[in-house]
Structure 1
Amino acid sequence: MPLSLAEYADSLEQRNLIWPRVSAAVSVAANPSIRPIPGLRAVLWDVYGTLLRVTDGRYGIVPAEELRLQIALDKTIHEFNMWNHMYRKPGPPWQSMIGIYRSTIERLQMRASARGDITEVSVVEVWRQLIEKLFEKAYVIDEGLYGDVDEFAEKVAYFFHCCLQGLEAREGAVHVMTDLSGREIRQGCLSDGPEFGLVQLLRALSMQAVLPPLYELFGSGVVLFSSQLGVRKPSQSLFQEAVSRLRTGGISAEETLYVSCRLMTDLVPARRLGMKTALLVSEKSGLEFSREVLQNPETRPDRLLTSLTQVAALVQA
């Protein structure tokens, strides 16, 4: 039987591979606002940049520094023995792949989305298409280990992204999530990220401390990553889907707190749909806001946090 994605991730961990590391945090001077918000029954988290510290401060598949992309592609090509099945050019292996990688992303970005939405490119779909090109030169998947082509593409994309962006759980993440779970506050995720975002999140959190059972940790019914729907924040349909799932679980938007380090793309659209909002201002990386939006009564967050653990103070017992 092929490995599940979680089992595959475990197998990588056992090999003690060297992954990129997140740079040390550069703090931001801010005064927290942590008065309790009455009536909260659920907390939704942004993941990449909020629950997780990540290289670049947010999820991405095309870094500004091309060297990082070169290294990630090179490691992926060697890990999955792709070199002999590529249309090769003179130079290192990544040089034969990088142009196709970029053009595939550009082509997928051209897919139409609904009005008010922004297309999200799935890194799994990118690798699915790159693998199809390898088949033209007799590439063979070990289906007993990796599964079919779709399962294989997900594992390749997972490995590639681990090589591309370092990540770690933010200080206090497991503590506050466990506290909220114990108080029967339903939690969930609403984040830009890949289809395997939950696997990355749980692995990073488990390295910080022991987690409650998954059904207790994410009881809101909302575990949404942008690649699953094909649109990224601030797309209206992404937030509307979150509100719909909350409603299915008997929770209104007004009973929900959304926590993120990004104001304009995350908290403002959440507020429009009725959610309460909290802006995390704990470090420069990932933090996105404008003074004008922050001071506008129509768009400013309900609370301002300097630590994840302060979320517990916003929820009344």
Structure 2
Amino acid sequence: MDLQSVNLRAVIFDVYGTLLEVGPSPADAAARWEKLWRDALQSPPRLSLEQFSAACDAVIVREHLTAQARGIEHPEVYWPDVVREALPETGRLPAAARDDFLFAQSQLWHTVRLMPAVGETLRTLQAASVLIGIASNAQPYTIRELRVALAESGLAMNLFEPALCFWSFEHGFSKPDPHVFRLLSARLAARGITPGETLMVGDRLDNDLEPARACGWQTWLLGKSLSGSGAGHWQQLRQWLETGVLCEPE
């Protein structure tokens, strides 16, 4: 497949709302929380799921205010530390068990699955030797969520170029901070790829497209009608990548 018509050598994807469809929490989240606590911590729960959420929110607010006072406009927390403060009991778990607890806990707040047509699109890009990266406001459990969802479609995380993956929890700041896109632009430049040869795919103008455009990237807004260039659903994105032509779905 030839992507010269769309002038692409790299595509950077958002995760939530883009690669992963996000659904509501499970109906039995409270019961699952109680079981998770008893199984992992070997004691009756001293906090309900709602109380745990409130305790975590308080830590996040404090950490955000502290970071903003230091000049970080769009701060990011490190979720394992937030949970460890809100729920000190997790500190005594072995690392692997703690990771499992954090992942299981995250699944009580939302459900995720791979967006339709993501698999075909990623395979199309890989076959065309286009570099694939990620720019995501994320936590460690995000990577595991994505890995599991990809595996269900026969795909793996090695589709993504590690140096072109921005996970906000690793940096302490998040989109739409322009440093996210400056950082990725510098790493792309080191590979001889210009901003004009880079596409950002996301579902939010404020977090994804506007800061990417400010760096000179091409952009694609998911989930909108094709009233203008660079917008549409996954099937239209794949068609555009393959043909360079935007078409409204019938």
Please give the TM-score of this superposition, normalised by the length of structure 2. Answer: 0.80
Letter in 2 for 1:80: A
- Compute the displacement of 1:219 (Å): 3.3
Answer yes or no: is the 8 Å Cα contact 2:219–2:230 preserved in 1. yes
SS of match in other structure, 1:111: helix
Q: Segments of 4+ in structure 1 off by > 6 A?
A: none
- Compute the displacement of 1:109 (Å): 2.3
| Residues 39 and 95 of structure 1, relative CA distance in 2, 3 Å threshold | closer
- Compute the displacement of 1:210 (Å): 1.7
Q: Say whether residues 1:234 and 2:176 are aligned partners.
A: yes
Of 245, 257, 261, which residue of structure 1 is paired with 2:203?
261
> How many correspondences in the alignment?
241
Q: How far apart in 2 are the matches of 1:43 and 1:99?
A: 37
Letter in 1 for 2:103: Y
Cα deviations by residue, 1:205-254 (Å, 9 ceiling, x for unpaired): 221x222x644x12373112222222222112222222222223332222
SS of match in other structure, 2:213: helix
SS of match in other structure, 2:41: coil
Please give the TM-score of this superposition, normalised by the length of structure 1. Answer: 0.65
Match of 2:77 in 1: 121
Q: How does 1:27-176 map to 2 (within 5 A)?
A: 38-55=6-23, 70=30, 73-81=33-41, 83=43, 88=46, 93-94=48-49, 97-113=52-68, 115=71, 117-131=73-87, 133-134=88-89, 140-141=92-93, 143=94, 147=95, 152-176=97-121
| Residues 122 and 202 of structure 1, relative CA distance in 2, 3 Å threshold | same
Q: How does 1:168-317 map to 2 (within 5 A)?
A: 168-207=113-152, 209-211=153-155, 214-215=157-158, 217-219=159-161, 221-281=163-223, 302-308=229-235, 310-311=237-238, 313-314=240-241
SS of match in other structure, 1:181: helix
| Residues 282 and 68 of structure 1, relative CA distance in 2, 3 Å threshold | farther
SS of match in other structure, 1:104: helix
| Residues 187 and 140 of structure 1, relative CA distance in 2, 3 Å threshold | closer
Q: How far apart in 1 are the matches of 2:59 and 2:29?
A: 15
| Residues 304 and 244 of structure 1, relative CA distance in 2, 3 Å threshold | same
- Compute the displacement of 1:69 (Å): 7.3
Answer yes or no: is the 8 Å Cα contact 1:173–1:205 preserved in 2. no
Answer yes or no: is the 8 Å Cα contact 1:169–1:205 preserved in 2. yes
Match of 1:286 in 2: none
The structure where helix makes up a greater share of residues is 2
| Residues 41 and 105 of structure 1, relative CA distance in 2, 3 Å threshold | same
Task: Point out where structure 2 has 5 or more consecutive residues left out of the alignment.
Answer: 245-250
Q: How far apart in 1 are the matches of 2:58 and 2:89?
A: 16
Answer yes or no: is the 8 Å Cα contact 1:36–1:315 preserved in 2. no
Match of 1:289 in 2: none
SS of match in other structure, 1:118: coil
Cα deviations by residue, 1:147-201 (Å, 9 ceiling, x for unpaired): 3xxx554332211112211000011111110111011011011111212322211
Q: How far apart in 2 are the matches of 1:252 and 1:140?
A: 47
Q: How far apart in 2 are the matches of 1:105 and 1:165?
A: 19
Cα deviations by residue, 1:7-66 (Å, 9 ceiling, x for unpaired): xxxxxxxxxxxxxxxxxxxxxxxxxxxx9854210111111101110126xxxxxx8xxx
Cα deviations by residue, 1:71-97 (Å, 9 ceiling, x for unpaired): 66435423312545x7x4xxx744664
Q: How far apart in 2 are the matches of 1:75 and 1:238?
A: 38
SS of match in other structure, 1:43: strand
| Residues 230 and 312 of structure 1, relative CA distance in 2, 3 Å threshold | farther
SS of match in other structure, 1:193: coil
